Amino acid sequence: MIIRKAELEKVAVDPSQYPLAGYPEVAFAGRSNVGKSSLINSLVNRKSLARISSTPGKTRTINFYNINDALYLVDLPGYGYAKVSMEEKKKWGKIIEEYLNKRQELKLVILLVDIRHEPTGDDKLMFEWMKATGSKMVVAATKSDKLSKNQINKNLPLIRKSLNMALDDILIPFSSETKQGREELWNIIEKYCLI
């Protein structure tokens, strides 16, 4: 994929603010701090297109990145961040759910989990719920640079088991540091978005 254009085009909290162009969309879901914004930056080879922070809860809106006037990469707010109020959590939950439930342009959801840890209850719920809606789902296990090859090979089957993934469900180890998994993810995105 040759990136000619990568721009933050829309910031939305409400469906009325989603873009109208009709391009296919790929959404990135996952726990706060798991590396969604970093993964988007890696995909498009830009260091700081999507804002990254070591403080969880950075992305609080749905951010639509226009790629080549052909596709939107959609950065969702992270879930499961403990240090926000119940009120705030409900608000983010609603923003995420509304988008994932209703968006016609959504072709693929990439669920990010941390390769070092067992998926959380929220991760399991998200995977189960998305599969039940019939959405195409791929799981990316992030921060693979933090583990040895042996540890990666040990953890991947544990993540599969914990999320109850089927044999044909795709799980990709990914690192925004080493770019492991980048090509594979692009191949999948291109396949589902027919670009």
The binder of Mg ion chosen from 33, 37, 42, 176 (CB under 5 A): 37
Vertex 192: Cα angle to 189 and 195 (nearest 5): 75
User: Which among 1-9, 31-39, 136-144, 149-157 is the span making contact with Mg ion, rule CB under 5 A?
Assistant: 31-39
Calpha distance 119→80 (Å, rounded): 12
State whether residue 171 is helix, strand or coil: strand
CB within 8 Å of 90: residues ≥ 6 apart = none
Cα separation of the two ends of the chain: 9
Taking CB under 5 A as the rule, does residue 58 contact Mg ion? Answer: yes
Q: Which is nearer to ligand GTP, 53 or 153 (CB)?
A: 53
State whether residue 112 is helix, strand or coil: strand
Calpha distance 194→17 (Å, rounded): 25
Instruction: Kindly state the number of chain residues that form the binding site for ligand GTP, as judged by CB under 6 A.
Output: 23
Residue list 13-72, contact with ligand GTP (CB under 6 A):
30, 32-38, 52-54, 56-59
Q: Nearest CA to 169 among 143, 121, 131, 113? A: 131
Tell me how far, at minimum, the Cβ of 19 lies from Mg ion, in Å. Answer: 19
Q: Which is nearer to Mg ion, 13 or 165 (CB)?
A: 13
Residue nearest to ligand GTP (CB): 78
Taking CB under 6 A as the rule, does residue 190 contact ligand GTP? Answer: no
The binder of ligand GTP chosen from 67, 80, 95, 142 (CB under 6 A): 142
The binder of ligand GTP chosen from 9, 88, 145, 184 (CB under 6 A): 145
Taking CB under 6 A as the rule, does residue 175 contact ligand GTP? Answer: yes
- State whether the Cα torsion 57-172-189-136 is positive or negative: negative
Q: Nearest CA to 131 among 176, 177, 100? A: 100
Binding residues for ligand GTP, per CB under 6 A? 30, 32-38, 52-54, 56-59, 78, 142-143, 145-146, 175-177
Contact residues: Mg ion, CB under 5 A:
36-37, 58-59
